[in-house]
Structure 1
Amino acid sequence: MRGIWKWVGLAGVAGVVAGGVLVARDQRRRNAYTPEDIRARLHQRVAEAKD
């Protein structure tokens, strides 16, 4: 029975680590945009929405 809880704990830790990796990757992607890039993308979305 003890071995089961060990594996459940390890799976939980692996899940938390995987989630942290995904959050860090997303944050890096967001930080890569310059204000001009963001502004251009917003203007493009508005133009597409008006069509």
Structure 2
Amino acid sequence: MRWWKVLGVAGLAGVAATGAVIARNERRRRAYTPDEIRQRLHDRANESTEPR
């Protein structure tokens, strides 16, 4: 019975860690201003259309 408890705690820790990573990435993504996002998209589009 003890192994089930350990497995449950490990699963709970994994879910919490995943939620923390998702929240951190979301905060980082929302920190950009609309002008910064637009500029980054333009830069990426220009990089993808340049000949290699």
Give the TM-score normalised by structure 1.
0.90
Q: CA deviation at 1:38?
A: 0.4
Structure 1: 5+ residue runs without aligned partners?
none
RMSD: 0.7
d(CA) in 2 for partners of 1:3, 1:30: 41
Q: What is the TM-score when the length of structure 2 is the normalising length?
A: 0.88
Take 1:49 and 1:15, find their aligned partners in 2: how far apart are those partners?
A: 37
Deviation at residue 20 of structure 1 after TM alignment:
0.4
Work out the percentage of aligned pairs sharing the same amino acid.
52
Following TM superposition, the consecutive aligned residue runs of length 4 or more in structure 1 with deviations greater than 3 angstroms are none
